[in-house]
């Protein structure tokens, strides 16, 4: 993680730096980098040597996550149950 500088540059208006964005989303900074690379989370804008995230995009992403938690699209991710086959009985000899 970068060392905090003495002359902290403020983020652009309506944005936060990646560290604060990760804290707001309850994620680690590395997870937020991974989400950005995979296209899952809010897309940050590159700023000289940093990433800035739009606060409205963070809130929209959190709202979407809450909605999916309330109303999941699928019951679960596992395979459907396979039908049971009848047991073969041994023929009496």
Compute the 3-state secondary structure of the chain and give helix, strand, coil in percent, each to the nearest 5. Answer: 35, 10, 55
Q: Is the pLDDT of residue 5 over 80?
A: no
77-92 pLDDT, tens per residue?
A: 677 778 888 877 776 6
The reported pLDDT for the residue numbered 30 is 94
* Spatial CA neighbour of 65 closest among 17, 8, 12, 26: 26
| C-alpha span between 37 and 43 (Å, rounded) | 9
User: Residue 35 in contact with residue 41, Cβ under 8 Å?
Assistant: yes
The reported pLDDT for the residue numbered 2 is 60
| C-alpha span between 67 and 7 (Å, rounded) | 40
The reported pLDDT for the residue numbered 3 is 64
Strand ranges in the chain using DSSP code E only, listed in sequence order = 15-17, 45-47, 50-54
12-59 pLDDT, tens per residue?
A: 899 999 999 999 999 999 999 999 899 888 988 998 888 999 999 999
| C-alpha span between 28 and 86 (Å, rounded) | 50
Spell out the domain ranges in the chain: 15-70
């Amino acid at each position: 993680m970068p060392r905090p500088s003495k002359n902290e540059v403020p983020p652009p208006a309506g944005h936060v730096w990646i560290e604060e964005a990760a804290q707001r989303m309850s994620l680690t900074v590395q997870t937020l980098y991974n989400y950005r690379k995979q296209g899952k989370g809010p897309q940050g804008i590159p700023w000289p040597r940093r990433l800035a995230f739009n606060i409205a995009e963070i809130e929209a992403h959190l709202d979407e996550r809450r909605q999916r938690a309330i109303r999941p699209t699928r019951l679960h991710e596992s395979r459907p149950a396979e039908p049971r086959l009848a047991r073969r009985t041994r023929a009496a000899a």
